[in-house]
A and B are shown apart, each in its own frame.
Chain A
């Protein structure tokens, strides 16, 4: 059994960590947090130069053709550094959707641009409150144009193109949904930035008014493609969450070692030690679930739906738990703008919702386990 990343993959993780610690220190994250930029353009350029944007894109489409295990280790580092860049929307959502369902021409057009950092992509799925569901999709297509509103759309204000979930039928079945690819710079789409709890990752409202759109995949296949994309993204985002959880735990640990109260480091008090030990437990369970998800993702295993849901739930819980208690360990200082604790707290709670809420994934996991047991 080798339930671990290879030495090469670990080297790539180290390279990503080094790159991000230099190019994406907390100061860089704060530039976006404070609204001085929509995202970190320099970082985005650097990610392209390092080959990280196209790490899982085949060489024939301008990528590095490495694979999804490599993408997982990079994702972990992106989460750890709170990278203020449209990595998840472009790489896990848009690129994955095109890889799964795109035509040869669509792959040739967009994947090289993603790998080189020229194009930012996203997935326009949600239409207001609620979790992923075919029933919630109302946006309509007629004669190759789209009309309707999508929100929230991650990185919608900076994206060059979007994969849009569209209603093309009214039978009440999953086959009512189709996917379209829209060039957001071609007109017909109004973009409005939305504020959210984590300003380091933008959200937007997209209003489609007779926007030109081309189908991505066959008509009626939209929900099936989306389900695959969401499962794959769930594993990748879970790695970001584990990276964030680990960093929040380290911050809490370091502060507990340095901070003196009542004449001793606060890390010598059992009330504080036990809180940190519990954070370690959550982060470790999440990491192990993520490794299983990574294996399923990289091998296209039939276990992927269950593994993805488990990784997503475990990593969501761990990041929220570690980010919350990191503030608690820091006491009053943890509640200042100046300390970085709130940036992890914001990210933990925003990223917990992006692909659907915790309760949605809990529901998915139980459904999938029942299906497996029934089979």
Chain B
């Protein structure tokens, strides 16, 4: 097949809304969105608490979290694999090679990003707001809801960064999901497989969807920062 024909076939897949193709796209979105949601629920309050709290070892935690932002996905995948494998501590749950396992792995990848960026955003905001918030009686952890709300635009960007990382990675979901057709096959693992098999139209079609997804995320992030700038003055 020449390149033109491959592109044509890929477009046909995307436009034709092929059920198998759509299944892969939806599973990918489901796994990644769930992972980002869970990471946000844990990471936003935790990051804010880390921004406000002062305790021994805080600096070490911050350095570790920043380092974890660059955690190789395959390593995260391996860790979850060991945890969930039949002889592992969580083996009896039978989660290995399920979408749930992929969500767990992606939460581990996204969480450090959310916590680290939240900490930065909230710490900056706190240094600006501290006097006023303490004056009206919001000190320490009681200030967190206000700070999270007022940091909403910057924090949305942090969540989108997490979404970007999770949707693009292949190593972790491949290891713990197993790339089972129709069950744990995501866009990235499908591209890996189809490329090595030589089914380039499918790989390319999924690649196009991934690309436009990335484009969309960046457009949203840009919009959020623009709206934020309006409120931030």
Asked if A and B bind, the verdict is: no
